[in-house]
Amino acid sequence: MHQVDIEQKIEKTHYAKKLSDSGQLSFQACDAVLAVSHTKFPDKPPLLSPRDMPRRRINSPTGKIAFFHALAHIEFVAIYLAWDMLYRFRGLPEQFYQDWLRVADEEALHFTLIRKHLLAMGADYGDLPAHSGLWDHAEETAEDVLARLAIVPRCMEARGLDITPQMIEKFNSQGDIDSVKLLTRILEDEVGHVKIGSYWFKKLCQQKQLNHEQKYIELIKKFYVGKPKGPFNRELRIIAGFTNAEIDWLEESA
Ligand SMILES: [Fe+2]
Ligand SMILES: [Fe+2]
């Protein structure tokens, strides 16, 4: 049952992107927005709080499976997060919705690629427990598109830009070329997602005549629990639309 559910989500996401690309999809809202709490996840994987998650090291086969399982879950939740951006925040320019649909479509592809990788290792998504915390960010930032943009693409996804190059290096040193290729592909797309997040964050700040750098700091302080975690990949973050002042602040606060 849960497999069908997952596959339908992937298929519908790709289908919506195709419709949109051929000008056959209207982003006009026809219903009132439901609360984030209405969102349903598949029965598997079971979701655990981060402290109950087993630790993983990628230098054993089971550690590698655990790593890619965790990543599959991040991508799966990322599909939901992109769709929620489209669904929840109304009255924005058409391009906003097209951009987040592109993100949803790429996240769906990432999920499929990682799932294939897991299957090749004799495992599947749903075999292990997964982190329950990712969706909390959607809940916490449901009322404010700027908070959502600051926390989801410009904090969570941006963290991927810091961590993924290190993981690519580790897999490379193990001679695991399939994992290297997969992560390299995903990293490229993720730079684009953060860039879309930065673009809309700045644009919507400008419309409200807010200083986007100050607003970013204010929102991270308000919605991010704990100190920002470094080290930060300045080079990729700059490509993804961060300013040096923002990265300086992150480094000082870490
Ligand atoms: Fe992704
Ligand atoms: Fe992403």
Ligand closest to Cα of 100 equals: 2
* C-alpha 113 – ligand 1 centre gap (Å): 10
Residue 30: per-residue pLDDT: 84
Q: What is the pTM of this model?
A: 0.96
Q: Is residue 27 over pLDDT 70? A: yes
- Tell me the pLDDT band of 226, cut-offs 50, 70 and 90: confident
pLDDT of residue 3: 64
CA 93, 94, 100, 103 torsion-angle sign: negative
Instruction: Mention every residue, 6+ apart, whose C-beta is less than 8 A from residue 222.
Output: 147
Please write the tens of the pLDDT for every residue from 63-83: 999 999 999 999 999 999 999
Task: Give the ligand at the shortest distance from the Cα of 110.
Answer: 1
CA of 187 to the centre of ligand 1 (A): 8
Q: Work out the average pLDDT over 233-254.
A: 97
Q: Residue 204 pLDDT > 90, yes or no?
A: yes
pLDDT at residue 196 above 60? yes
The answer to whether residue 26 scores a pLDDT higher than 60 is: yes
What mean pLDDT comes out for the span 221-226? 91
Mean pLDDT of 124-144: 93
Q: State the distance from the centre of ligand 1 to the C-alpha of 29, rounded, in angstroms.
A: 26
| Confidence category of residue 225, pLDDT binned at 50, 70, 90 | confident
Q: How far is the CA of 209 from the centre of ligand 1 (A)?
A: 31
Instruction: For helices 177-207 and 158-173, give the axis angle rounded to 10 degrees.
Output: 170
Contact partners, residue 178, CB within 8 Å, separation at least 6 = 117, 120
